[in-house]
Structure 1
Amino acid sequence: MPRRTATMLASTLMLIALLCAGVFIPVPYAEMSPGPTVNTLGDHDGEPVLQISGRKTYAATGHLNMTTVRVTSADYRMNLVEAVYGWLAHDNKVVPRETLYPAGKTEEQSTQENAEEFSQSQESAKVAALKELDVPVKSWVIVSTVVKGSPAEGKLHAGDVIKAVDGTTVKEPADVAKLVTRHKPGQDVRFTIVPAKEQAAAEKEKRTPTKTQDITITTTSSDDDGEKRAIVGISAGTDHTFPFTVDIKLADVGGPSAGLMFALGIYDKLTPGHLTGGKFVAGTGTIDDAGKVGPIGGIEMKTVGARAKGAQYFLTPADNCAAAAKDTPEGLTLIKVDTIQDALGALKDLRGGDTADLPKCGK
């Protein structure tokens, strides 16, 4: 066989071998891409996204779209060819797999965490919107989760209302950890609680719960590196009672990033007029009970998805502005927001056609 022919054949076989390796050898990466965007003022799967009863509502036009990111599943193993294609694709992003699925965490656990974050974001969106409308909302600190095998297991339960720790009244979830960590590991801590069943019964009967219990738990040591803390194995959260019903109907969505857009949608439906002035506004951002907007992941994918759907303006958390401004889709204006008040102010400017002074990302 001529040397040139042999060289070409060897090169071809090498190329085929490399392609096969690229197809069959998995790499430790996952992919993010633009996901669906849903108008919080409209319908999804045949029913309104926001359903409010017990309070007068108003028709709302325009778009206040929440945005999402689509990610590869935890059990999907990307190959080298797919990773290279994802790196080259403009609208996709390849990231280390552990970014989306930390080591030791199953897909079921990740899904459950996302569902819990989504549920909490809905609650905070309701609270933030109603506070802006001066509608009173009752709030209290609860046991959010109990770690299996921890000292609290069997003594405290999810939904228990934490009234005090060691006799000190609890006002915020952060108070619980602060009071527990005053102890050394191995010391006792006393919780004064309203059991979850009593709290639920009181809410149903529209009365103040009267049955409290004192629960003593022996603390254990945290697994942190460095100095050990006293813990009991719970996370604290906040629960609320609303003066009317606000339901958010949106399945197959997880995480906390839709909080801002839900809050704005609720506000729009509870106020006369049209918050967007008929314009197509999309956005993202976590929100807390006080209306503070927080950063999210996948901002580049969300702006692409929003623009593809037709959005003209995108409400962007202040901490995501720098990343979003690096590659803004043509025709999309990024509006920087740090609070729900910022978002409402920007929407007022849009309604009035006063866009020159909008707090834009990159200005």
Structure 2
Amino acid sequence: MTRLPPVPWTARADLAELVAALGPGNLRWVGGAVRDTLLGQPVKDVDAATPLLPEEVQHRLAATGLRSVPTGIAHGTITAVLAEGPVEVTTLRRDVATDGRHATVAFATEWRDDAARRDFTINALYADPVTLEISDYFGGLADLADRRVRFIGDPAERIREDHLRILRYYRFQARFGAELDPAAEAACAELAPTLKGLSRERVAAELLNLLGLSDPASTVARMDKAGVLPIALPERTPDGISLLSQVIAWEQAHAIAPDPLRRLAALLPADVRLADGAAARLRLSTAQRKRLSKAAGRGGDDAMDARALAYRLGMAEALDQMALTGGDPAPIVGWTVPAFPLKGGAIIARGIQAGPDVARILRMAEDRWVAEGFPDAGRATQLLEASIADAKIA
């Protein structure tokens, strides 16, 4: 019998309180916490499954003084608010009907029924909170050992139930997989057109999650070859995969953390209008759209040094530009972008009337300050005096 190794999270006192509140045999840890612990990877969130109905979970938690929030009660999820972090407790479920986007579920009483509705075998591993024994209904332990991401049951059928599983497959394969599953690869290619029926937000979230992994370049290349990427990201360029690989290599060479938005920019054309259109289609935030647009305008500031670029565009935007063009980020790594030490009041105090001239002089002084490498306030004042003299105010 395989057991979870005794790691810190399994010994949490607040989790023991949760287990005691629900009663013997009424809770098992499931999903990512179990999978990642078996892989020796850090665990971020702990999720639990229970045969108890949501209302009974709430009642038992309240009876023992534990607070809960009905975060997804319609789907059986109650969040237990614990001292060391929240835990989602979800009633066992089975699918009644699916349409590729949404599922109608019914509560179940058998652990295997709950496991059968999960996407991949490595995500359907349950651990007893007391003995730490693993319940494996579909060969997930063997797949984990082989680093293989495999659908539970027929891949095509599982994808037809939820089209987003295509993108989830590639994300999990990029993160955990070493050995490819031919049946999964074929099903994803065959059913790639079904991605068109998904919300743009869900597609964007999965793409960014994938691109945020350590090195997803080979996976993205397979997605492109299989016809998945052209549907998920029709704006991609023919040389985008190659540029993505270069950006990843640049990040690794300079010890810069992976950035999914920067990597998305590598896949998109160096065309502000087209990049902005892709961001809008994916329903990205305003800040994300602006950043992608700046990245698409790469090369227009070639004459500007790294610190000036960071000051003018922003730190993340400057790193984007350098990653996409192969620049050296050393001057700005660990550097804090300074604030220009002067305001318009300093100009007005010298007898110049408020208005356009003040803004023009301030820009002149700021440009000189940036060109000199951000000197101290004393030197900034000298540059202001020179700018006033050169402005030749009538």
Report TM bin, short chain.
Answer: under 0.3
Structure with larger Rg: 2
Q: RCO greater where, 1 or 2, for CA within 8 Å and sep 6 or more?
A: 1
Give the TM-score taking structure 2 as reference length. 0.24
Give the TM-score taking structure 1 as reference length. 0.26
Q: Which has more strand, going by share of residues?
A: 1
Q: Which has more helix, going by share of residues?
A: 2
